[in-house]
Structure 1
Amino acid sequence: MELHCAKPAEGDFAGAPTFSRTYAWIIFALTFGLLLSDYMSRQVLNAVFPLLKSAWGLSDTQLGSLSSVVALMVGLLTFPLSVLADRWGRVRSLILMAALWSLATLGCAFATNYGEMLVARAFVGLGEAAYGSVGIALILSIFPPHLRSTLTGAFMAGGAFGSVLGMALGGFVAVHFGWRSSFGAMACFGIVLVVTYRIVVSEKRIASRQPNRAGQEASRSDVVTSLRTLVAGLFSTVSVVCAYVGSGLQLFIMGAVLAWMPSFLNRSYGLAPDKAAAGAAVFVLLGALGMVACGIVTDRICRASPPRKWTTAVFYCLTSFALLATGFHLEPGALQLALLGAGIFLVAGTSGPAGAMVANLTPSSIHASAFATLTLANNLLGLAPGPLVTGLIADRIGLVGALQVIPLVSLAAALAFAIGRSRYTRDLRQIDALRGKAVNQ
């Protein structure tokens, strides 16, 4: 997860040949590491669902709400906090966010009932609210434009990789040391990374390696002069709105799978909580690898024809729907697991294309805000309702029945991307015409 300032040439390194590629990749690695911490703190809860259900007698709806409240907070707050980060400083904002979610995760370890856990999880969401959008905006500002799908897909895959680690490590620690220790371990990992990030990365150090940064900042203050101008830049075309909506709807399924796969394996295959968490982590790992692979494939096959990125997004939606819908209707066994694995590999493959389209269709000076809007859509349309709606349905027809229904959302996502594809070329011409008019004035 902008009224364009001067756009760097495709071969330029963020428009600044003197910028250190090594330092850029160090920034990427540390920012990616904090994203891992973000999702480890978020998804460790799902690994201990069976233990919490037993300890506190919670319903599936309550369990789903503990997962959904984080995504809800992210969805509600990502936009205003990202706008503030664009002005206050992206690096400072990232450090503050990571410190907050790490401390809130530590608070989860001390919760004594459902209400206290819900409040602690809400603060986890507050800390994580704008991290994805601000983090990817920082990354895209220091890398060449032609890598946007790859970088967006790889960075967003950090969420899935973090979920893998959170589930697998969280389940292991919970069984051997108690579920409270799982939250404590995630919190300690985040705090260590925050200290490291603070030492290595700074606004000043980045600016010193980007000679054009000062001019870009000056342009930003001139270009984004009001909330009205900002909103106009974020929702300037039908196609960019379709990118937001399609991405969010497709991640509804990813959010449901992340939350409920450990419980699915526990109930359908009779696996112990730690083994169910480890098994679920394998599926989430497939999703992470799929995000990276789909981003790379999309960039390669669409470099000569950017509109094809919409077509690849439609393909990922329809194929994942077919695989997951079929898989969840099968009896437990090897064939079911194979189909589910293939479906999960593709289900979040739209992340890279959607991120690239948002970057192409919004001005670079407000990319943090644009990716905040994408994050808002991803959470309010996908990651927040996914676990909760699945829990609500599961309380009525069972978890398996709920998981058989949710793949239908992919059809709506495919429709949104198809509409965006039909308008993309026309909308790009409209944006280019407005930019040309602004330059001439």
Structure 2
Amino acid sequence: MATHVADASANIPYTQTVSRSFAWIVFALTFGLLISDYMSRQVLNAVFPVLKAEWGLSDTQLGSLNSIVALLVGLLSFPLSVLADRWGRVRSIVLMAGLWSLATLACALAEGFGQMFAARFFVGVGEAAYGSVGIALILSVFPPHLRSSLTGAFMAGGAVGSVMGMALGGVVSTHLGWRWAFGAMALLGLALVILYALIVTETRLSAGNNGSSPAHKIGASGRCAPPSLRNLFSALFSSISVVCAYVGSGLQLFTMASMIAWLPSYANRYYGLPPDKAGLAAAAFVLIGAVGMTTCGIITDRLSRDHAVRKWLIAIVYSVTSCVLLVAGFLLPAGPLQFVVIGLGMFFVAGTTGPAGAMVANLTHTSIHATAFATLTLANNLLGLAPGPFVTGMLADRIGLLSAMQLIPLVALSASVAFGIGYCHYGADLMRIRARHAAQRLQ
């Protein structure tokens, strides 16, 4: 029997239709597939030197094998998420994960650049919408007051998977050859896909609906049919506060992306570390960021469970704190203290991921959550992940890498301004959305 749980974070009724243990199984399997996603994407970086030597590839060709995946994720995330909201999130997840795993297996069998490029193309197609669809599915089986924690923890899987893919890929490539590096990632993905298809089904997720809704309507909170395409864009940008959540999240990740991309070079140039040790140092900072995403999400939910508007204030604190710590860190002389302060900054720099995801979930209807998170992903890429490393490189060419790293964290202040504007409008926007949903239920 379904139990009614008050949604303290959004004041929207929530009906739990799966057991808590099954909800955590769904999270674990979906999280596992996200790690597989990023392992399959980043294993290529570990075998760059081998492919360059064996096939005589240029750096441009090697870079294109990486960029084609990111390009397709950016182009296809939104349209594929729209389709997933209509066709079924579980079916979409199984199809996407199966595709990227088979495509990764094809990478292991490639005999030249052309075949590898084609295989990486389909890796990108398979991975394009997984993040947005996966988090939408997870949020549909948990109470809304856990949204920040779940979003932060889930998104941290990307960082964990990236580090694991490069580390494990390097080890397997060294001992068994580069083809087995791709093969190992593919086999892991396929095993998880089979497990997922057997355990997580549309029927089990909608068991509490008593057959009153079609199978494609996902989970406890996904009962209403998605809006028509004509109304979709207005639903995605229905309030000032949701737009501020998109913008603030993207601007904050500008700093995160810049740090991840340039910390290896910084460690190499200013600490004299060889490339392998500089890469390990950067990987440690990536893991600190992943821990920060999860921890900051949990803290946000604890502090805002009874006062949803606090999510905005907490996001502002994370943005400002990361800015202060990173600027201070790069102003310090090279040494252990500098690494500690930069590490503390990295802990908070992606802490807004959970709050921003919760804000978007609260301000959009559950039937379009995959599409809403695809929009958030698009904002993260266009405003942060894509331009961050590029702008940092441009500044480094003109004023030096150290000076660039001292300036880049200031972008977090613009993120805090966006979150501040969202804070001012959130209460009125949420009341208007509640009234609209209540009217829809009466129709």
With the length of structure 1 as denominator, give the TM-score of the two structures. Answer: 0.85
Superposition pairs of residues 300-339 of structure 1, within 5 angstroms: 300-339=302-341
CA–CA separation in structure 1 for the residues paired with 2:357 and 2:257: 18
Q: Deviations over 1:161-216 (max 9, x none)?
A: 21232233234445556666544433332222222222222223323355377279
Counterpart for residue 416 of structure 1: 418
Counterpart for residue 281 of structure 2: 279
- Secondary structure at the aligned position of 2:351 is classed as coil
- Please say which of residues 325-334 and 191-200 is displaced more in the overlay: 325-334
Counterpart for residue 3 of structure 1: none
Partners of 1:72 and 1:379 within 8 A in 2: no
In the TM superposition, residue 342 of structure 1 has moved relative to its aligned partner by 0.8
- Please say which of residues 395-404 and 83-92 is displaced more in the overlay: 395-404
In the TM superposition, residue 232 of structure 1 has moved relative to its aligned partner by 1.6
Q: Deviations over 1:289-329 (max 9, x none)?
A: 11111011111111222111111111111211222233334
Gap regions ≥5 residues in structure 2: none
Counterpart for residue 357 of structure 1: 359
- Please say which of residues 351-360 and 154-163 is displaced more in the overlay: 154-163
In the TM superposition, residue 14 of structure 1 has moved relative to its aligned partner by 5.9
Partners of 1:216 and 1:365 within 8 A in 2: no
The one-letter code of the counterpart of 1:205 is R
Q: 2:248 aligns with which of 240, 246, 249?
A: 246
- Secondary structure at the aligned position of 2:39 is classed as helix
CA–CA separation in structure 1 for the residues paired with 2:276 and 2:106: 22
CA–CA separation in structure 2 for the residues paired with 1:78 and 1:327: 35
Counterpart for residue 15 of structure 2: 15
Counterpart for residue 136 of structure 1: 135
Gap regions ≥5 residues in structure 1: 1-6
Counterpart for residue 235 of structure 1: 237
Partners of 1:46 and 1:260 within 8 A in 2: no
Partners of 1:247 and 1:351 within 8 A in 2: yes
Counterpart for residue 348 of structure 1: 350
The one-letter code of the counterpart of 2:429 is D
- Please say which of residues 88-97 and 106-115 is displaced more in the overlay: 106-115
Counterpart for residue 380 of structure 1: 382
Superposition pairs of residues 21-420 of structure 1, within 5 angstroms: 21-46=20-45, 56=57, 58=59, 67=66, 69-108=68-107, 120-174=119-173, 181-208=180-207, 210-211=209-210, 214=213, 223-391=225-393, 400=402, 402-420=404-422
Residues 179 and 324 (structure 1), Cα distance of their counterparts in 2 relative to 1, 3 Å cut: farther
In the TM superposition, residue 140 of structure 1 has moved relative to its aligned partner by 1.1
- Secondary structure at the aligned position of 2:432 is classed as helix
Partners of 1:36 and 1:159 within 8 A in 2: yes
CA RMSD, aligned part only? 3.4
Q: Deviations over 1:242-291 (max 9, x none)?
A: 10111112122223333444454445444455444433222111111111
Residues 257 and 170 (structure 1), Cα distance of their counterparts in 2 relative to 1, 3 Å cut: farther
CA–CA separation in structure 2 for the residues paired with 1:14 and 1:66: 44
The one-letter code of the counterpart of 1:258 is I
Partners of 2:202 and 2:216 within 8 A in 1: no
- Secondary structure at the aligned position of 1:23 is classed as helix
In the TM superposition, residue 96 of structure 1 has moved relative to its aligned partner by 1.5
In the TM superposition, residue 440 of structure 1 has moved relative to its aligned partner by 4.9
Residues 36 and 398 (structure 1), Cα distance of their counterparts in 2 relative to 1, 3 Å cut: farther
Partners of 2:239 and 2:429 within 8 A in 1: yes
CA–CA separation in structure 2 for the residues paired with 1:168 and 1:365: 38
Residues 386 and 109 (structure 1), Cα distance of their counterparts in 2 relative to 1, 3 Å cut: farther
CA–CA separation in structure 2 for the residues paired with 1:283 and 1:345: 8
Higher RCO (C-alpha under 8 Å, 6+ residues apart): 1
With the length of structure 2 as denominator, give the TM-score of the two structures. Answer: 0.85
- Secondary structure at the aligned position of 1:30 is classed as helix
CA–CA separation in structure 2 for the residues paired with 1:405 and 1:107: 43
CA–CA separation in structure 2 for the residues paired with 1:199 and 1:252: 39
Partners of 1:157 and 1:292 within 8 A in 2: yes
Q: 2:428 aligns with which of 423, 426, 429?
A: 426
Counterpart for residue 4 of structure 1: none
Residues 182 and 273 (structure 1), Cα distance of their counterparts in 2 relative to 1, 3 Å cut: farther
Residues 99 and 401 (structure 1), Cα distance of their counterparts in 2 relative to 1, 3 Å cut: farther
Partners of 2:173 and 2:180 within 8 A in 1: yes
CA–CA separation in structure 2 for the residues paired with 1:387 and 1:377: 16
The one-letter code of the counterpart of 1:297 is I
- Secondary structure at the aligned position of 2:294 is classed as helix
The one-letter code of the counterpart of 2:299 is V
How many residue pairs align between the two structures? Answer: 432
CA–CA separation in structure 2 for the residues paired with 1:282 and 1:71: 23
Percentage of identical aligned residues: 62
Partners of 1:68 and 1:383 within 8 A in 2: no
Residues 205 and 430 (structure 1), Cα distance of their counterparts in 2 relative to 1, 3 Å cut: closer
CA–CA separation in structure 1 for the residues paired with 2:291 and 2:355: 15
Residues 77 and 300 (structure 1), Cα distance of their counterparts in 2 relative to 1, 3 Å cut: same
CA–CA separation in structure 1 for the residues paired with 2:102 and 2:266: 30
Partners of 1:16 and 1:210 within 8 A in 2: no
Residues 279 and 239 (structure 1), Cα distance of their counterparts in 2 relative to 1, 3 Å cut: same
Partners of 2:81 and 2:133 within 8 A in 1: yes
Partners of 1:174 and 1:274 within 8 A in 2: no
In the TM superposition, residue 359 of structure 1 has moved relative to its aligned partner by 0.9
Partners of 2:98 and 2:193 within 8 A in 1: yes
Partners of 1:64 and 1:387 within 8 A in 2: no
The one-letter code of the counterpart of 1:164 is V
- Secondary structure at the aligned position of 1:15 is classed as strand
CA–CA separation in structure 2 for the residues paired with 1:339 and 1:111: 44
The one-letter code of the counterpart of 2:59 is L
